[in-house]
Every structure is written in structure tokens, then in C-alpha cells.
Amino acid sequence: MRRAMPTDVVTMDKIVSLSKRRGFVFPSSEIYGGLGSSYDYGHYGVLLKNNIKNQWWRAMLQERDDIVALDSAIIQHPRTWEASGHVAGFTDPLVDCRTCKLRFREDHLAQSACGRKPSKHPGETPECDLTEARDFNLMFQTTVGPVAEEGSTVYLRPETAQGIFLNFKNYLQFSRKKPPFGIAQIGKSFRNEITTGNFIFRTREFEQMEMEFFVPPPDAPQWHQHWLAERMKWWTSLGLRPDHLQLRPHDADELSHYSSATSDVEYLFPIGWSELEGIANRGDFDLTQHAKFSNQKLEYVDTATGDRYVPHVIEPAAGVDRAMLAFLVDAYDEDEIEGEQRTVLRLHPVLAPVKVAVLPLVRKDGQPELAREIYQDLRERVQAEYDEGGAIGRRYRRQDEIGTPWAVTIDHQSLEDRTVTLRDRDSLTQVRIAIEDLADEIGNRLRHPWRSPKLDG
Ligand code: GAP
């Protein structure tokens, strides 16, 4: 089989188009004209996101014994956000243009387009009439109870982290953990972002995977280094190319109010190097603030020695949607098979939405019946898909586009000797294998270390 060399041909437009065509991501509320920066995840998007989240849980819980899980409420006591600093400080400086009526982030003027003359930046034309900058809080507000009155205002959480700090005391009591230990959670967060765009990179509703790791204060710097290394290992173990990943320490003027040191894991998206995950040393800021605002003691007491202290916190905080975008971008490839153009997602098999497709060569001669029998067996072990409609080449192409690593084809020989062919998405090799060995073979391949073929391209 003749195969052209893969090249890095990905653009954001190609990802957006494939995502819609193949049912990963749809613009939200499309029949009403859409809602800016809101997206719905389709069947394969849900499967891919679930696989990313499962791998994160696996790394946090199954592969370690010093982290426990939490799923806290989205709407929390409003004092939470006073203590955390979000009410006072989670703001962007905004300017309005009195002429075109658009609103811009003051620190993004150089990247924004004037409403009247998009080739110019706001403030650059004689007609532009910008106001002074005003702080705009990014938290979404709503009210609890039947009437909106004083004291009924609450916020949709802008990060999952605070739910962890509010439960710190519960966890000391029930989990029999002592520092160093962590609490991990995945959930939706909400920010009324002004500058959105770039597909699912920055949206107003998104999912975070955050872990707060509580440590004795003197050990915080070395635990920060530990988590920088661990998280970089996680991203590369799931196939992201190392030359498209970097760790970037924040400059002092970039640090959040709670952080003494932060490094971002950045990925080389088509829009340039951008943040995938922030890994911060939050010190004792959050526990101290919540202790002050709640009048509760939030400290660790060593019952053996009587020592008491407020642990410091190391926080790896990643976005699920951004992770999915990075995996899609990293996997996207185009090549040519026997003169025909093919689009293929070279996803790590553990992330691929569907692991194996089962395809009868023709829809007759007992092939569909045998194929269904094989499908029933495989689907008990992995996410599998059965497809008997259309030319076999078209069915392979469809599976390539959703990143399915393996396809089983049932042909006339299968009915004679109970063997099938097993096709590999990347190498395009097809091996003949006994039906009874199929499930074990796929299980073995899934456990095998994987390396992006784009690294060798
Ligand atoms: N608790 C710390 C915290 O929330 P952050 O850097 O603001 O830190 C962590 O957010 C991660 O959440 C980011 O690295 C990014 O992956 C994701 N994230 C933040 N804002 C986002 C948005 N508007 N849309 C999509 N993902 C976002």
C-alpha cells in the first residue's frame, strides 16, 4: 500500500469543521442563531472528554494513594468568594467605545479590532471614542430563593478549587489523611469572559480538573517541582508531542493574588503557545482566608507531637475542554492512500472515542451475522462500533476521522476458518487473526506504550 508522509497540516478551521462534521462539538443553540462561545459536545466529543477525565482520575486516584476525590456544589455560600478574593479581585479592566458601542479588554486592545474599521485597533481611528478603563467582575451572578433581595445573591463558581478548601476540615476527619495529601475534583466552572473565540479554547462555561495538594510548609517548593514533572509526564504519556509542550514560569507581575510561584504547561496550538494547565504554589492563602471568614480552625494537628500548622497548597489546575482541543490538534493529520486524500485523528488509543470498528465486507453471505457476534463480544470489553453500510473504503475513512485505532473486517474467508483482518489506523497494516484471539489482542495493544506517528513523520 502506497502512503504519503504525514505533515503537520492542522489549522483551527479544520478542527472546527471536523468536530462538527463528525459529531465531536457543535456550536450551542444553533437553531436560534447560536450563543457566542457556547458549545455542545456530541457523541464522540462526550466519549473523548470522558476518556481524558478517566485518565486524569486514574493518575490522581488509582496510581497513587495520597489523593482522594470530591464533587462539590457549583453554587456555594457567597462568603466563599469574598474570602477567596474573587469578589474584589477577579476582574478584567474594560473600556467602552462610545462610537461603535463595543467593549474591549484594556490589556487586549493591541489584539482587538475596531468595530468600524476592523483593520485598525480600538482607539486608532479619529472616530474612536474610548472611555476610561473600569473593572468588570468575571463571576456570573444569580439569586437563590423566590425573590431577588439583599442577601440572595450567589455566584456560579469560577473555579472548582474553592469547594476543596471548604471541605478541608471534613477530609481531615473522615479520610485519615495527613499532609502531604491531595483532594481532586472535576467539574464545571463559569466565567463571564470578555475575550472569547478560538473555538473551545476559552468559553464562558468550561470543565476543570483541579487538585489541591496540602503539604507541610517547608516542603512546598519541592512538592511544586514534583507536580510540574508529574503533570508534564501525564500530557506526554497521552501522546502530546514533547516538542509541542513547554513549561513557562510566570513573571512576578503575572502571578495571581494567591500565588508565590506558578508555571503554566503550554501547548503549541495553531493560535500559538497557550496555557493548558497552571501549576501554582498557593501557600496558605486559601485556608487562612477561609479560617478568617468562617471563624473555623483550618489547620492540621499532629496528635502524636501536638504540632499544629496551616498546610501550604500546590495546585495543578487543567481545563478539560482545552485538553480536548490540544489532543485533537495534536492528532489531526492528512495523508494519501492510493491517490486518495485521507483525514485521520492519530489519537492515543486510550483516548480514542471508539477503540474498534467491526465491519462486514459485504452485507450478505452470513458476514453481517458473524460480524454482529464479534461486535457483541468486543463491546463487553471496549467501546466498539458496528457498521455495515456503504463501501468498505468509506467506512474505514469515517473511522479514521474519529480516530478509531483498529478495524476488524469480516470477509468470505472468516466464515470458512473463523479468522478476520485487523487493520491499524496509523500503519495501515492488516493482519489476519483468529476470532477467538481478537479481544486479547486489542487488550494487549491498548496496554502497550504509544508514541505519536507524527513524531516520525
Ligand atoms: N484554580 C486555579 C485556576 O482556576 P486558571 O489558570 O484560571 O486557574 C485553570 O484555570 C485551567 O482552566 C486553565 O489552564 C485552562 O485550561 C482552564 N480554563 C480557564 N479558563 C477557561 C475558559 N474560559 N475556557 C476554557 N478553559 C479555561
- Tens digit of each residue's pLDDT (9 = 90 or more) over 392-415: 999 999 999 999 999 999 999 999
Tell me if 262 CB under 6 Å of ligand 1: no
Q: What is the pLDDT of residue 338?
A: 84
pTM of the predicted structure, to 2 decimals: 0.94
Q: What is the mean pLDDT of each run of 10 residues along the chain (457 residues)?
A: 58 97 96 93 98 98 97 97 95 91 87 89 93 93 84 94 97 91 98 86 96 98 98 97 96 85 96 96 98 97 92 98 98 92 97 98 97 98 96 96 98 98 97 98 95 88
Q: Among residues 236, 230, 192, which one has the least CA distance to residue 211? A: 230
Q: 173-186 b/e with 16+ CB inside 10 Å = b?
A: eeeebebbbbbbbb
158 alpha carbon to ligand 1 midpoint, in Å?
9
Q: What is the pLDDT of residue 196?
A: 67
Q: Which amino acid is at 389?
A: G
| E-strand stretches of 287-328 | 300-301, 308-309, 312-319
Which DSSP letter does residue 455 get?
A: G
Within 10 A of 256 (CB to CB), how many other CB atoms are there?
A: 14
Q: What is the pLDDT of residue 1?
A: 46
What is the best residue among 37, 41, 205, 275 to mutate for testing ligand 1's pocket, by most ligand atoms within 8 Å of CB?
A: 275
Q: What is the pLDDT of residue 103?
A: 87
Tell me if 206 CB under 6 Å of ligand 1: yes
Q: What is the pLDDT of residue 150?
A: 74
Q: What is the pLDDT of residue 429?
A: 96
3-state DSSP assignment of residue 251: coil
Give the pairing of strands 245-249 and 261-269: antiparallel
Residue 264 CA: nearest ligand 1 atom is: 14
Tell me if 282 CB under 6 Å of ligand 1: no
Read off φ and ψ for residue 212, nearest 5 degrees: -105, 120
What is the best residue among 183, 206, 234 to mutate for testing ligand 1's pocket, by most ligand atoms within 8 Å of CB?
A: 206
As given in the structure block, the three cell numbers for residue 337 are 492512500
Q: What are the Cα distances from residue 321, in Å, to 47, 214, 254? A: 13, 26, 23
DSSP symbols for 76-131 = --THHHHHTTHHHH-EEEEEEBTTT--EEEGGGGGGS--SS-TTS-TT-STT--BP
Burial of 453 (0-12, 13-18, 19+ CB in 10 A): middle
- Per-residue model confidence as pLDDT tens digits over 246-293: 999 999 888 888 888 999 999 999 999 999 999 999 999 999 999 999
Is the Cα dihedral 161, 66, 237, 261 positive or negative?
A: positive
Within 10 A of 119 (CB to CB), how many other CB atoms are there?
A: 8
